[in-house]
Amino acid sequence: MPEYKAPLRDMHFVMDEVFNFAAGYEAYGLTDASPDLVSAVLEEASKFAGNVLAPLNRTGDEEGCHIENGEVTTPAGFKGAYQQYVDNGWSSMTGPTEYGGQGLPASLGLVVNEMVASANYSFSMYPGLSHGCAAAIRAHGTQEQKDLYLAKLTPGYWTGTMCLTEPHCGTDLGLIKTRALPQEDGSYKITGTKIFISCGEHDLAENIVHLVLAKLPDAPAGTKSISLFIVPKFLPDASGEKGERNSLVCGSLEHKMGIKASATCVMNFDDATGFLIGEVNKGLNCMFTMMNHARLGTGMQGLCHGEASYQSAVAYAKDRLQMRALSGPAFPDKPADPIIVHPDVRRMLLTMKSFNEGNRALAYYTSQLLDKAHYSKDAEERADAEDQLAFLTPICKAFMTETGLEVTILGQQVFGGHGYIREWGQEQQVRDCRIAGIYEGTNGIQALDLLGRKVLMSQGKLLRAFTKQVHKFCQANEGHETLGEYANKLSQLNAQWGEQVQKIAMRSMQNREEVGAASMDFLMYSGYVTLAFFWLKMAVGAQEKLSAGTSEEDFYKAKLATQEFYFKRLLPRAQAHLAALEAGADTLMQMTAEQF
Amino acid sequence: MPEYKAPLRDMHFVMDEVFNFAAGYEAYGLTDASPDLVSAVLEEASKFAGNVLAPLNRTGDEEGCHIENGEVTTPAGFKGAYQQYVDNGWSSMTGPTEYGGQGLPASLGLVVNEMVASANYSFSMYPGLSHGCAAAIRAHGTQEQKDLYLAKLTPGYWTGTMCLTEPHCGTDLGLIKTRALPQEDGSYKITGTKIFISCGEHDLAENIVHLVLAKLPDAPAGTKSISLFIVPKFLPDASGEKGERNSLVCGSLEHKMGIKASATCVMNFDDATGFLIGEVNKGLNCMFTMMNHARLGTGMQGLCHGEASYQSAVAYAKDRLQMRALSGPAFPDKPADPIIVHPDVRRMLLTMKSFNEGNRALAYYTSQLLDKAHYSKDAEERADAEDQLAFLTPICKAFMTETGLEVTILGQQVFGGHGYIREWGQEQQVRDCRIAGIYEGTNGIQALDLLGRKVLMSQGKLLRAFTKQVHKFCQANEGHETLGEYANKLSQLNAQWGEQVQKIAMRSMQNREEVGAASMDFLMYSGYVTLAFFWLKMAVGAQEKLSAGTSEEDFYKAKLATQEFYFKRLLPRAQAHLAALEAGADTLMQMTAEQF
């Protein structure tokens, strides 16, 4: 029943009109990414997503993955779709040219991935994990390791995983028990059990490259003793092809609430051969290369499910006839009016629309920072991009997934009772989306990362890297004829943001718990203000087009209406988060554990 | 893995110390409900819920219901549990004594039902629907109908359903197509398809009594032409026992997100024999008798899943070791601290606790109004109770289920990755809870009912019936030594509540859409203020005990801490809802349907 159509017009609006991706590509010498090529890539990706992947989304959920004797089978159609994904070059798009990649910018990869993942999130995880694995090998591997593995991972012949979590530890990786015994030939024997391993075993590719966190026998306690190992399912032979089977096996598949077509594996390593990547005891640093990549991707999950849910909800709201408009029949010739006439249905749709499009702007802006940090010729610009990336990544991960979940829940609500029935697809969006707030570091961990590690540890520097953009923009628009009032509102919030950080910093000098007590509400406050900035940016752009005259009046007027809705109906939540965090740590800490 | 223990201490606190149920029972002549009997009933119900029903909750979800040739089988163990439910007299508890009921008060029935439904919500639906069916027959049936059906429904030998929804209409029942042809013997032939029929077919009881909405051939259009019919699966024979099979059949079971052990049926009526109940064309009025009953019960669903989720989350948070407290190791001898030391985990647990216990107070208060409306000897008191019931019912249904869903999502979050895995039980609570915001009138419909039908159509009378309670309470406590500041805060919100209604009423005179545009945020605002009232009531009671000296210091201190948390960290959300509704209808209505 549900159908996904890539919102190309919206995507182009953000890429071309709001952030001018093309100018960046030119400035950074990414001349392959010409406007024509970008358009063609988007067009092709939208076809692949809509025609090949979307039809497998619900069947994949129904069927799930199967395991027999340690071999995992993905749902019908997934293998063929993955083959097309590889054959059509989607895997290699942003990979390094020396390993068969096309060297296209990360920002374009993110846009393509939005389509793939909106159409079928479970499918998107297989290549998604591979990209993270390849990124870690590229950043930390030896030349030999890069030559060996990137040649296979880049085109997608092999896939990759991250093996971090164990039954007794997820967030607290210092507690891991997996052991790595050094061998005389320089390799290691890896023994231990890893759980929640996405795409740990499957039938899509001929080999799987596991990146495994383990400890050496003499390693000190805690996180500073973790090393990272490449542990392939099949050891590469002398020619770099799939060779001998390694002694690791998928013990079982997890039974999950959603993303059922993605194989979530318990992986047992039993004296498996592994190869150290990066330095001994520095494994966590290497893993962070993957995790930062994965966190923006996980944030996108909120947008992807939200967008798919919105498309279905709007179609349903225009089609479903139920009751009359309060102000009188809108379609007197029909037995009832379509429910899109009802203000409360519109409240739900507009909430969905404003989070989705705001989140898209946030994510695309962040992806542009990835380009800038990587390719800019100006060292200061690169450093500034890194600062903003560090600041925005936890916001992307947590705010986009919190709001994405709200969006999918509303999208289900629009359908009434049908929203609860599998055949209509909306409940799957909720179930699939739910994991995004949990994995890749729970949203609570993202909030601590944002407030503790990023904002406070940098003494506000990383916050200012972003708020100065906001400040400049507000100054430039405070006299705007129609949008000036919003620029002033945003300006106040922007100032309040910095002041709050000062206050939290003061309180946390007395009591370290204040940071954890403020973190989640601070993250949500930050997200609401960040989206306000991007919404106003979009509105200013839309107003320019309208003032200049355009054949797309509906499109731009909808942007203005959605921006107004966001400022007036959603942004007030920022103050509720502020009030909550100002309540301080005592409201959380005064109860003893027994009193719960 | 998950285990449900009825929170008897909390229940007694609300029943005995906050609302003094016993005094009401005495005043209303409900002398059977003596304190000793009440305690014994609660004790027995808690055993039945914990020992018999809770163990079937996850297996019921895994197995679901099965259909073969129109016969539905419930999951293993359900039939035996239902037999115990009937044998032990739980079905007949609040039923009329003349039909084998025990005539115990509705408020006590609600408390018992909380335990049954927290342990296994799907199970609770079978008797739950029956009670609604019996209530409608009791209110609108002829003496003969009452004698025939209540004798079977009251003890639970037969169960009942409500058959309202059809594929093309749920909210808008005026559109139903099911037809009732009058027969010469005074009966009717019913033909049509009903969907989403909870417990429409199953193997728990020997007969099922369907209450079916249908239209007579000459009925005018719209809702004023709907009649209600009793359509039993087996027609009663001359002795009132199960007789001839009626021509209705379950066509299929719906595939749902949750409550999988509750059979949700497509019911096909094909010239089935039915009997008019109530007057011709007045069927909707009869149905509302059932629906009001069901709406409070559905509100309870938010509390029930929330309570079950909280119990598991607290146990996990005390057990799971992960990271150290920010202020330094709490348990240096363990490899890490239990996660309950972390402020953000406490934020989640306290949010859960304050919604659950606040919702429990709201529901119990409402159930006390049911007693009062039914049994009070004072006509004025009865009328006041009816007014408050009318006002609070949509708040119970919608606010308790919105916040209940938030609670279960947080309870899943506390578990990290394990929260997403079926075996841990937390994801089932989310899936099961999700339906509560949708059925029995979506929460959007409840919001329209509250603001439009209840508050504005009564010109504020129904609102004042409740706010005057709040006002009196605030006046009495504004000088409270420790809680006076909160009484003043509540007093402001209470006044603001009435002022907002004035403003909305003014705006809606210009534009009818203003009511729908404000409704959901008004309902949520109302819910937050209502819970603030009940929390403060509980805190005043707890403070009295502490001041007087008690052996249960932990219990009462936890109440005070949770009340403080609620006021400082959750209540600020009321203002965000207020700001949103003050934005008015234009923010929702200015976009054309095409612009979505």
Residue of B nearest to A562 (CA): B587
Residue of B58, B172, B570 to mutate, testing the A interface (most A Cβ within 10 Å of its Cβ): B172
Confidence at residue B234, expressed as pLDDT on a 0 to 100 scale: 98
| Contact between B347 and A419 using a beta-carbon 8 Å cutoff | no
Give the CA distances from residue B324 to residues A507, B141, B327, B343, B412, in Å, rounded to whole numbers and listed in that order. Answer: 20, 64, 8, 11, 21
Residue pointed to by tokens 């000793």: B36
User: Is residue A564 flagged as an active site residue?
Assistant: no
Q: Determine the Cα–Cα distance for residues B524 and B403; give it in Å rounded to an integer.
A: 10
Closest CA to B529 of B476, B467, B479: B467
Strand partners, A232: A209
Give the CA distances from residue B340 to residues A169, A589, A593, B319, B404, in Å, rounded to whole numbers and listed in that order. Answer: 15, 10, 7, 9, 21
Chain B partners within 8 Å of A165 (Cβ):
417
| Contact between B350 and A165 using a beta-carbon 8 Å cutoff | no
Confidence at residue A1, expressed as pLDDT on a 0 to 100 scale: 60
Question: Would you say A239 and A261 are in contact if contact means Cβ atoms under 8 Å apart?
Answer: no
- Positions of chain A with pLDDT under 50: none
| Contact between A520 and B587 using a beta-carbon 8 Å cutoff | no
Q: Determine the Cα–Cα distance for residues A91 and B573; give it in Å rounded to an integer.
A: 45
Chain A partners within 8 Å of B417 (Cβ):
165, 170, 195-196, 438-439
Q: What is the ipTM of this complex?
A: 0.97
Confidence at residue A369, expressed as pLDDT on a 0 to 100 scale: 96
Confidence at residue B1, expressed as pLDDT on a 0 to 100 scale: 59
CATH architecture of A158-282: Beta Barrel (2.40)
Strand partners, A249: A268
- pLDDT bin (cut points 50, 70, 90) of residue B218 is confident
Sequence-ordered alpha helix ranges (H) in A415-512 = 426-434, 443-448, 461-477, 484-510
Q: Determine the Cα–Cα distance for residues B351 and B570; give it in Å rounded to an integer.
A: 8
Q: Determine the Cα–Cα distance for residues A144 and A150; give it in Å rounded to an integer.
A: 10
Of B554, B562, B588, the CB nearest to A346: B588
Does residue B542 register a pLDDT over 80? yes
Of A169, A348, A591, the CB nearest to B561: A591
Question: Would you say A357 and A562 are in contact if contact means Cβ atoms under 8 Å apart?
Answer: yes
CB atoms closer than 10 angstroms to residue A281: 17
Averaged confidence pLDDT in chain B: 96
Closest CA to A276 of A345, A214, A331: A214
Q: Which two structure tokens, joined as six digits, stand for A422? A: 């599998």
Of B338, B342, B558, the CB nearest to A595: B558
Sequence-ordered alpha helix ranges (H) in B320-378 = 343-375
Residue of B440, B481, B552, B594 marked catalytic: B440
Q: Where in chain B is the domain with CATH 2.40.110.20?
A: 158-281
Confidence at residue B289, expressed as pLDDT on a 0 to 100 scale: 73
Give the CA distances from residue B413 to residues B311, B401, B407, in Å, rounded to whole numbers and listed in that order. Answer: 14, 18, 10
Q: Where in chain B is the domain with CATH 1.10.540.10?
A: 8-143
What are the DSSP calls for A75-98, one per residue?
A: PTTHHHHHHHHHHTTTTTTTS-GG
| Contact between A580 and B569 using a beta-carbon 8 Å cutoff | yes
Residue of A440, A553, A564, A594 marked catalytic: A440
Of A254, A345, A595, the CB nearest to B554: A595
Distance from CA of A183 to the nearest CA of B (A): 29
| Contact between A572 and B589 using a beta-carbon 8 Å cutoff | no
Give the CA distances from residue A349 to residues A307, A319, A558, B424, B499, in Å, rounded to whole numbers and listed in that order. Answer: 11, 14, 12, 33, 29
Q: Determine the Cα–Cα distance for residues B139 and B143; give it in Å rounded to an integer.
A: 10
Chain B partners within 8 Å of A318 (Cβ):
593, 596
The CATH code for residues B158-281 is: 2.40.110.20
| Contact between B576 and A572 using a beta-carbon 8 Å cutoff | yes
Distance from CA of A504 to the nearest CA of B (A): 14
| Contact between B165 and A570 using a beta-carbon 8 Å cutoff | no
| Contact between B596 and A422 using a beta-carbon 8 Å cutoff | no
Q: Dump pLDDT digits (tens) for B266-313.
A: 999 999 999 999 999 999 888 887 777 789 999 999 999 999 999 999
Amino acid letter for position A338: P
Question: Would you say B260 and B122 are in contact if contact means Cβ atoms under 8 Å apart?
Answer: yes
Does residue B115 register a pLDDT over 70? yes
| Contact between B322 and A588 using a beta-carbon 8 Å cutoff | no
Of A322, A327, A587, the CB nearest to B169: A322
At residue A456, φ and ψ (nearest 5 deg) are -70, -45
DSSP B419: G
| Contact between B443 and A593 using a beta-carbon 8 Å cutoff | no
Give the CA distances from residue A252 to residues A127, A158, A169, A194, A196, in Å, rounded to whole numbers and listed in that order. Answer: 21, 21, 18, 11, 10
Distance from CA of A78 to the nearest CA of B (A): 23
| Contact between A568 and B583 using a beta-carbon 8 Å cutoff | yes
Residue of A349, A420, A581 to mutate, testing the B interface (most B Cβ within 10 Å of its Cβ): A420
Residue of B nearest to A514 (CA): B343
Amino acid letter for position B349: L
List Cβ neighbours of A263 (8 Å cut-off, separation of 6 or more). Answer: A65, A72, A74, A198, A199, A200, A201, A202, A250, A253
Confidence at residue A285, expressed as pLDDT on a 0 to 100 scale: 86
Residue of B nearest to A509 (CA): B327
Chain A partners within 8 Å of B595 (Cβ):
554-555, 557-558, 561
Which contiguous run of DSSP H or E holds residue A343? Answer: helix A343-375
Classify residue A569 as exposed, middle or buried by CB count within 10 Å of its CB (0-12, 13-18, 19+): buried
Chain A partners within 8 Å of B422 (Cβ):
255-257
Chain B partners within 8 Å of A405 (Cβ):
409
Give the CA distances from residue B185 to residues A172, A356, A490, B234, in Å, rounded to whole numbers and listed in that order. Answer: 75, 60, 73, 18
| Contact between B595 and A558 using a beta-carbon 8 Å cutoff | yes
Distance from CA of A473 to the nearest CA of B (A): 24
Of B314, B423, B575, the CB nearest to A255: B423
Of A317, A326, A413, the CB nearest to B438: A413
Residue of B162, B346, B521 to mutate, testing the A interface (most A Cβ within 10 Å of its Cβ): B346
Q: Determine the Cα–Cα distance for residues B464 and B471; give it in Å rounded to an integer.
A: 10
The CATH code for residues B8-143 is: 1.10.540.10
Of A175, A335, A593, the CB nearest to B336: A175
Residue of A197, A223, A257 to mutate, testing the B interface (most B Cβ within 10 Å of its Cβ): A257
| Contact between A588 and B347 using a beta-carbon 8 Å cutoff | yes
List Cβ neighbours of A131 (8 Å cut-off, separation of 6 or more). Answer: A94, A293
Confidence at residue A2, expressed as pLDDT on a 0 to 100 scale: 72
Residue of A326, A339, A357, A515 to mutate, testing the B interface (most B Cβ within 10 Å of its Cβ): A326
Confidence at residue B64, expressed as pLDDT on a 0 to 100 scale: 98
Chain A partners within 8 Å of B344 (Cβ):
444, 447-448, 516-517, 519-520
Residue of A nearest to B569 (CA): A580
Chain B partners within 8 Å of A342 (Cβ):
444, 516
Chain B partners within 8 Å of A421 (Cβ):
254-257
Confidence at residue A506, expressed as pLDDT on a 0 to 100 scale: 97
The three-point CA angle B119-B125-B129 to 5° equals 145
Chain B partners within 8 Å of A335 (Cβ):
175
| Contact between B512 and A327 using a beta-carbon 8 Å cutoff | yes
Q: Dump pLDDT digits (tens) for B481-531.
A: 999 999 999 999 999 999 999 999 999 999 999 999 999 999 999 999 999
